[in-house]
Amino acid sequence: MVRFMKCSIDDSIIKKMYKKALKARKNAYAPYSDFEVGAALLTEEGKIFTGSNVENVSYGLSNCAERSAIFSAVSCGYRKYKVLLITADTAQPVAPCGSCRQVIKEFGNNIKVIMTNLEGNFKYKEINELLPDPFER
């Protein structure tokens, strides 16, 4: 079992999330960067939402996998999350970009972020560690 500061997540759930993120990654639309990313988001209720990155020829209109998963969950009425897992074909576990960090932080101070790669390497951080000084109103 992997233990976090205030939340323990069973290894079987992390493995399930990883498999779902890998599957979502296969649906990525990345014809410009060839950088495919998948994400899996675990809600407080135990539901898992996935997302993949979707690029656009006008690069600023692209969307990351992490935000795709969060936006999908929000669209279905879920706004409290435990864990967000991200995976990509990188040498080290892939970290969320700054925009994604801000969006993750919008939904909680204690969300766990599991960064992975295709080789199965994992790195764990809380969103507060990844974005210590968020934009706030």
The answer to whether residues 9 and 16 touch, using CB atoms and an 8 Å cutoff, is no
Q: How far apart are CA 62 and CA 26, in angstroms?
A: 17
Q: Is 38 helix (H, G, I), strand (E, B) or coil?
A: strand
Q: Is 63 helix (H, G, I), strand (E, B) or coil?
A: strand
Q: Going along the chain, which residue ranges are E strands? A: 2-3, 8-9, 37-43, 48-52, 81-88, 112-117, 122-126
Q: How far apart are CA 47 and CA 43, in angstroms?
A: 5
The answer to whether residues 4 and 126 touch, using CB atoms and an 8 Å cutoff, is yes
Q: Which residues are catalytic?
A: 66
